[in-house]
Amino acid sequence: MPPLLSFLCSLFVFLYLSIAVKASALTTAIAPNERVCFYADVDKAGEKIGFYYAVQSGGSFDIDFDIKDPNQKVLLDGERERQGDYVLTANTVGEYSFCFENDMSTLTDKLVDFDIMVESEPRRQPPAKPGQIVEQTSALEESIFRLNGMLMNIKRMQKQHHTSENRGFALVKSTQNRLFWYTIFECLGVIGMAILQVYILQTFFTKTGRRYKV
């Protein structure tokens, strides 16, 4: 296959995959007792919907969520979940809602990182002029599909490591704050005991305590 033709085929497949997949990576802060919803449109029945989320900070790193179809039917929900990675099949054309609810927390905000991806199943179409290029183009498409799958796996691993890092940092920060305030209270307690001891000793040598004089 000539290099120019190979480049054009690769460019065509890449553009096809870019059009077939619609995704959005977002991070949102959810206040206590707040419900936040996001929406994605499905153009035709049978499309795949990928939904990933992870609580990065706040409280016990948990959140309530639910996914509803255009008919307000609950497709998936969960309570006090830390993270999830789901793939659903959209059987109804229309707008799907993805909602998070921070109802269990009364003081702490939750920071949630999530992805919503609507993906059309790739359909191979024969070229207008069949010939020797068909097999080479098919092999190229298969290679690109495999690379796409490997990249998605790497992306998921990066998200998991990023979430673990954020949770570990939040735990270290929380422990540091607790140790700081424990040290402050301990110092105040030592100072208070010292003042109390000085006051008690002082009462032994005052005029009001003559029977304790030596």
- 90/213: higher pLDDT: 90
Strands 110-119 and 63-68 turn out to be: unpaired
- Quote the pLDDT of residue 13: 45
Say whether pLDDT at 5 is over 50. no
Decide: 63 and 35 in contact? Cβ < 8 Å.
no
N residues, the chain: 214
- 5/79: higher pLDDT: 79
pTM reported for the whole predicted model: 0.58
The amino acid present at 194, given as its one-letter code, is A
Q: What is the mean pLDDT of residues 31-44?
A: 90
What share of the chain has pLDDT > 70, as a percent? 74
| Residue range 59-96, pLDDT digits in tens | 788 899 999 999 999 999 999 888 888 888 899 999 99
Burial of 42 (0-12, 13-18, 19+ CB in 10 A): buried
CA dihedral 22, 117, 164, 54 (to 10 degrees): 130
